[in-house]
Chains A and B, each alone.
Chain A
């Protein structure tokens, strides 16, 4: 048994050890514990070679087969066990070589040749090579019909590749994968998609061991998230391997000593689920965990006062005030522009968003390829806003303002506070606000599932560096959230998605971003900075805008 290493500060540890000793004495008639004897030595070796890193997420992972995951907590664990062909440059969202050392895309954008890293093996000793790569691509393409193809399971494959070998959508963009050498794989698409390489950095497209997948098949018709493979034998090439998933309690990862790169510095990483942000904060302060994600903005000062280290992720999200153009007079561009002039983004940021947040001037953060340096802007000018409203015949305008309650999203940490600032600003230019607050689930139903809403708060956190992942997601098609039909914009976005090079795509999206800001479907407010917090004993945590955070460089000192 491994005893708590730094689990408790002085007093509690002494009390615990004394009491544990007393409990053992009470049972002294019993034979010695077999595990205790072996555990003592592991405790000693653990201290000498790196110890544990205990991290608190907000929920348990849904599955440890990342292909069938789309939630951040499953991906957090998957990033330690698995690696994809493509990673990201530290601290950015830009694609970088990982299991593929390089790649080359043909001029028509359809064929990509990957040169693979030599000397890599999966943690079950299966060799990583071109055949393994094609096995994975074919596995994704041949996702069984039924539950496995549902949008909440194979979400990213469905979104990126847009179809499977069989099932409802068979018109996807994947054509084939061919192992043209031991370390060379050629992937062919049937339609160009410039975001292909960046999308491969998603954990859903991690390389998984063909041997393990074949050894633990998912019975037909059953939920693949819950098979033996996904529960107990997820096998990748990453710096950690699964030690145990103690359901309802923790996921324990052990260092992969055979890792091809720099081995992890800690012996083990433990991920626990603590849903309440306040409880996560308390667990860190009391030493129960070494770090946690999704720090509430209100807790930042308290944590800093306690000597905790705050690490900010570069913002890869956008919060906006959306206009529902299906509701009059929001279909009038003059009214939308007037509202834009009434909003003081700096005040919204300083009064309701975490420190370090920057106001947004378009519907994507500046880290994304296609971010436009020059877009139409609407300066804060309440007098002009009043005048414009009067010109549009809307001097006594009443607007329904929908906002969610009791929810904190990375792009919207305190919706109530943001609503209050905006409400004051809009009322200052003579707009009467009719507030409509709903709990998150109902709120989504009202704002995205019906056209019965007015202006509203929403946003998005990007998954990978592709403007389509922001602009395409928001405005790629007619939706009830925005309530407008703009075939020209939809066409522009569809064409941009199919461009063959990142350079062409960047140019196209720069223009589209400016067009969108002229059309003004909403007001981009800010890109809030998400924060993580760590005990002062933790060093080496590399924050990533797309949460590509691998813990191999983390150290935990006494």
Chain B
């Protein structure tokens, strides 16, 4: 297992190296110029020249890449062109917001998705199954952006049950230690702040978690249905094992492998979906900052953030693979 993990970690190096080249070229191939974007509608040719020279954009692409690579090996991702802040600082500052949002979204999806999928499989062909399948179909096809706006309109504006924007009420003077606002509220025992952060998370998390929820429901249903027909389940039931034991040890455990893979794959979807959700709810995570960086051609932010996201995506997938081994010893052996 250790060798497997180390090998996978080592493989990350060429993957990230290759990605850094692709990103570097792709971002510079985008139309538009960061200097012009920075100086706005009254940019002078002299001003643009000055900015391009300052950030080295006037140098040949290969030279620029080598300089960037030199920075990367020292874990220096450069600074934003727009506000001068180091990319690592802003990422570490905003990433907890996105993780918190993605975590709540995935918890919402898993906590609802697995029981619903299981129930649909157990009552295949019945009304429950039909309702779950229809609901999950709607969940898969509804765009995140549209759902986010709809949820906001109904639950925040019309019913006023939840706030419309940001991570915490601006009037709350809360202490932030980790930048995970819910966790911070619990650690500092500012429970009203923690609750306020949870209330702010509900709508974005539901919007973001709906597609993963629908997918998890469908995968769980399919997987459980398949396992339910396995000989070993019939044998277990025939030998008189308690139904709960059969369900937990034999059905769920075996059915969870594809579900776990799906959850792992959803992380990428959550990070990309977060860009839109964060924008609708003015939730200040990496998504909204990245969105602005694209519009402003903020090269260092774009490069740094996408590399970070790729790294995280790879690590999550590695964790899923390790999780396989823990759930199913057969994978470990192979």
A interface list, Cβ under 8 A from B: 1-12, 15-17, 19-20, 23-24, 27, 30-33, 35-36, 39, 42, 52, 54, 59-60, 62-63, 146-147, 150-152, 168, 223, 225-226, 246-250, 252, 270, 272-276, 279-280, 282-283, 285-286, 288-289, 439-442, 444-445, 448-449, 458-460, 473
How many A-B pairs fall under 8 Å by CB?
A: 210
User: In the complex, which residues of chain B have a beta carbon less than 8 angstroms from the beta carbon of A151?
Assistant: 39, 43-44, 46-47, 50-51
Which of B40, B79, B189 lies in contact with A444, CB distance below 8 A?
B40
Contacts of B159 in A (CB 8 A): 11
Which of B51, B195, B292 makes the CB contact (< 8 A) with A16?
A: B195
Distance in angstroms between the alpha carbons of A200 and B79 in the assembled complex: 31
Whether B297 sits at the interface, judged by CB under 8 Å, is yes
| Of B38, B94, B174, the contact of A1 (CB 8 Å cutoff) | B174
Identity of the chain B residue whose Cβ is nearest the Cβ of A222 in the assembled complex: B84
Q: Are B79 and A2 in contact (CB under 8 A)?
A: no
Q: Is the CB of A445 within 8 A of B170?
A: no
Complex interface: chain A residues within 8 A of B199 (CB): 12, 16, 19
Contact partner of A441 among B37, B164, B281, CB < 8 A?
B37
Give me 27 A-to-B residue pairs in the complex whose CB atoms sit less than 8 angstroms apart, sorted by A's number. A1-B173, A20-B191, A23-B191, A23-B194, A24-B192, A27-B189, A27-B191, A35-B188, A36-B192, A42-B173, A54-B170, A151-B44, A152-B51, A168-B50, A248-B93, A248-B97, A270-B171, A283-B166, A283-B282, A286-B164, A288-B165, A441-B33, A441-B295, A441-B296, A444-B43, A448-B36, A460-B42
CB pair A150 B165 closer than 8 Å? no
Residue of B with least CB distance to A404: B41
Task: Map CB proximity to A onto B170-197 as digits: 1 under 8 Å, 0 otherwise.
Answer: 1111111000000000101111111110
Known pairs A270-B171, A445-B32; A248 contacts B284 (CB<8 A): yes
The verdict on A289 contacting B170 (CB below 8 Å), with A1-B190, A151-B47, A274-B282 known, is: yes
Residues of A within 8 A of B196 (CB): 4, 16, 20
Residue of B nearest to A248 (CB): B284
Q: Shortest Cβ distance from A92 into chain B, in angstroms?
A: 23
Q: Does B275 contact A (CB under 8 A)?
A: no
A272 touches B166 (CB 8 A): yes
- Residues of chain B touching chain A, judged by Cβ–Cβ distance below 8 Å, are 31-33, 36-44, 46-48, 50-51, 54, 79, 82-85, 90, 93-94, 97, 152, 156-157, 159-176, 186, 188-196, 199, 279-282, 284, 288-289, 291-292, 295-297
Within the assembled complex, what's the spacing in Å between the Cα atoms of A471 and B83?
A: 30
A276 & B280 in contact (Cβ 8 Å cutoff): yes
Given contacts A1-B190, A248-B284, contact A279 B171 (CB under 8 A): no
Chain A binding surface, main DSSP class: mixed
The residue from A33, A226, A280, A449 contacting B190, defined by CB atoms under 8 A apart: A33
Residues of B within 8 A of A27 (CB): 186, 189, 191
- When the two chains form the complex, which single residue of B37, B83, B90, B161 contacts A62, counting CB atoms closer than 8 Å? B83
Cα A289 to Cα B219 with chains together (Å): 42
* Chain A contacts for B31, CB-based, 8 A: 441-442, 445
Q: B176 contacts A3, CB within 8 Å? A: no
Contacts of A16 in B (CB 8 A): 192, 195-196, 199
CB distance from A437 to the nearest CB of B (A): 13
Residues of chain B with a CB closer than 8 A to A63's CB: 83-84
Report the Cα distance A249→B285, complex, angstroms. 10
With the chains together, A26 CA to B161 CA distance in Å?
A: 23
Instruction: Name the A residues within 8 Å of B46 (CB-CB).
Output: 151
Task: Report A-chain residues with C-beta under 8 Å of the C-beta of B51.
Answer: 150-152
Whether A1 contacts B192 by the Cβ 8 Å rule is yes
Contact A288 B166, CB 8 Å, known A1-B173, A15-B161, A23-B191: yes
Contacts of B157 in A (CB 8 A): 282, 285-286
Evaluate contact between B172 and A2: CB separation under 8 angstroms: yes
In the complex, how many angstroms separate the beta carbon of A326 from the nearest chain B beta carbon?
A: 15
Let me know if B167 and A249 touch, CB within 8 A. Answer: yes
A249 contact set on B, CB distance < 8 A: 166-168, 284
Which residue in A223, A225, A250, A444 is a CB contact (below 8 Å) of B170? A250
A32–B282 Cα gap in the complex (Å)?
A: 33
Compute how far the CA of A274 lies from the CA of B41 in the bound complex, rounded to whole angstroms: 23
Q: Which residues of B contact A7 (CB under 8 A)?
A: 163, 169-172
Q: How far is the CA of A16 from the CA of B169 in the complex (A)?
A: 11
Q: A23-B191, A270-B171 are contacts. A460–B94 as well, Cβ < 8 Å?
A: no
Looking at the assembled complex, report how far the CB atom of A75 sits from the nearest CB atom of chain B, in whole angstroms: 14
Lowest 5 CB-CB distances: which A-B pairs, in order?
A: A151-B47, A441-B32, A20-B192, A33-B189, A223-B84
Give the CA-CA distance A52 to B195 in the complex, in Å: 21
Least Cβ distance of B33 to chain A in Å?
6
CA distance A30 to B185 in the complex (A): 13
When C-beta atoms are compared, the residue in chain B nearest to A13 turns out to be B160
**Residue pair B171, A441 in contact (C-beta under 8 Å):** no
Q: Given the complex of chains A and B, what is the CA–CA distance between A303 and B37 in angstroms? A: 32
- CA separation between A386 and B163, bound complex, in Å? 56
Which partner residue on chain A sits nearest B31 by CB separation? A442
- With known contacts A274-B166, A275-B282, A444-B41, A247–B93 Cβ distance under 8 A: yes
Contact partners of A247 in chain B: CB under 8 A: 90, 93
Check if B165 sits within 8 Å of A282, measured CB to CB: yes
Q: Are B173 and A33 in contact (CB under 8 A)?
A: no
Q: Compute how far the CA of A442 lies from the CA of B227 in the bound complex, rounded to whole angstroms.
A: 55
Distance in Å from the Cβ of B155 to the closest Cβ of chain A? 10
